Amino acid sequence: MASSDGNKNTEPWGGFDDNIIQGTGSAVIDMENMDDTSGSSFEDMGEMHQRMKEEEEVAEEAEATEEETGEDGEFLGMKGIKGQLGRQVADEVWQAGKRQASKAFNLYANIDILRPYFDVEPMQVRNRLIESMIPIRIIHFPQKIAGELYGPMMLVFTLVAILLHGMKTSGTVIREGTLMGTAIGTCFGYWLGVSSFIYFLAYLCNAQITMLQTLSLLGYGLFGHCVVLFVTYNVHFHSLFYILWLVVGGLSTLRMVAALISRTVGPTPRLVLCGTLGALHMLFLLYLHFAYHKIVEGILDTLEGPNMPPIQRVARDLPVVATAAMNAVNATVKTLGVILQSQ
């Protein structure tokens, strides 16, 4: 039985000491997750017991090898790395490495870091969705912005689904890449990129807002986009889109702008920050409508047509000039090849 806590080594050269490997495994102490049993004495007891058993096995193995090679003198125990000693060294190295790797993994790849931002109830999400369309006029003291990531993430994914629907029904053809990749890239790029940019501007303009709050604010602002795009991808009237763009887009922009104004001091910083955010938000909706949904005017006409299906992928027409140029290039290359071959 080991006499003291730290000395569990059975190697003559004094193996890897457990005291070197420090740290409790987590830098974030989250008191809510007390169902994690890593601190309980029962789990520790089991782990210590297992480790003591391992040490005993290693000790038995060491004794057995010493008995085998004992007659030839202890110098034979150092019979190169291929001997029993080498194997035990490799084993110790592996155990120590594994323990360190698992501790590092628990420290950095712990999704518990994000857990507080997903702590919401369905009622709260619903209320926040509705509130994102209602601008609040209080600008003399900071408005409360919820720091939550579930709602924004779900809204981004919903936007991706709506974009996909829009692209498919309009027959958009993406040449370099996939439809899904484009949709995901656009939506996530907007959410993360513009949030970071607004946070950077807020830092420059001395606004009291954290990165989490910009992510959350912008994410909930996408609710208006989702509604507008869902309606206008199915009902193809230009004027309806412009009205919805102004009204719905405008309301959600005003909500975000009011929240930012309440946290900024001074007319110029306010103007810069809110102007940028408003412009980007409204222009994004415009871009999404026109770039990802080429309104095929013929769809409305062909609903009565005999053979044309209402939903069909329509290829874009290559410009005539490009086709002619390609043909010319092909012809010259062919003639060159023939000339070279005949020589």
Partner 1 sequence: STMHVPTAAPKPNIFAGLSDVSISGDIPVEGEINVPVGTPIQDKEYSTLDEPVKDTILRDLKAVGKKFVHVMYPKKSSALLRDWDLWGPLLLCVTLALMLQGGSVNSKEDGGPQFAEVFVIIWFGSVIITLNSKLLGGTISFFQSLCVLGYCIMPLTVAMVVCRLVLLGGSWRFSFIVRLIVVTASFSWSTFASTAFLADYQPPNRKALVVYPVFLFYFVIGWMILTV
Residues that bind partner 1 (CB under 8 A): 1-5, 45-46, 48-50, 52, 111, 114-115, 118-122, 125, 150, 153-154, 157-158, 161, 164-165, 168-169, 173-175, 177-181, 307, 309-311, 313, 315
Backbone angles phi, psi at 8, to 5 degrees: -110, 20
Least distance CB 91 / partner 1 (angstroms):
17
Q: Is 158 in contact with 226 (CB distance < 8 Å)? A: yes
Which tokens is 70 given? 């004992």
Question: To 5 degrees, how large is the angle CA 214–CA 218–CA 223?
Answer: 155
Is 225 or 270 the residue whose CB approaches partner 1 more closely? 225
Least distance CB 313 / partner 1 (angstroms):
6
Neighbours of 62 (CB within 10 A): 17
Least distance CB 60 / partner 1 (angstroms):
16
Least distance CB 263 / partner 1 (angstroms):
28
Is 283 or 300 the residue whose CB approaches partner 1 more closely? 300
Is 153 or 282 the residue whose CB approaches partner 1 more closely? 153
122, containing H or E segment: helix 122-131
Is 58 or 226 the residue whose CB approaches partner 1 more closely? 226
Least distance CB 178 / partner 1 (angstroms):
4
Is 154 or 211 the residue whose CB approaches partner 1 more closely? 154
Note the Cα 218 to chain centre separation in Å.
16
Catalogue the E-assigned strands of 118-227.
Answer: none
For the stretch 154-158, contacts whose Cβ atoms lie closer than 8 Å and that sit 24 or more positions apart, written own/partner, are 154/125, 155/219, 155/220, 155/222, 155/223, 155/226, 156/187, 156/188, 156/191, 156/219, 156/222, 157/187, 158/226
Q: Please give the Cα distance from 56 to 205 (Å, whole number).
A: 65
Neighbours of 100 (CB within 10 A): 14
Q: Is 8 in contact with 55 (CB distance < 8 Å)? A: yes
Gap between the terminal Cα atoms of the chain: 90
Q: Please give the Cα distance from 266 to 181 (Å, whole number).
A: 41
Least distance CB 227 / partner 1 (angstroms):
16
Is 303 or 325 the residue whose CB approaches partner 1 more closely? 303
Is 208 or 312 the residue whose CB approaches partner 1 more closely? 312
Least distance CB 309 / partner 1 (angstroms):
5
Which tokens is 246 given? 């102004």
Maximum CA extent, the chain: 100
Burial of 21 (0-12, 13-18, 19+ CB in 10 A): exposed
Least distance CB 224 / partner 1 (angstroms):
19
Is 235 or 308 the residue whose CB approaches partner 1 more closely? 308
Least distance CB 318 / partner 1 (angstroms):
12
Is 52 or 283 the residue whose CB approaches partner 1 more closely? 52
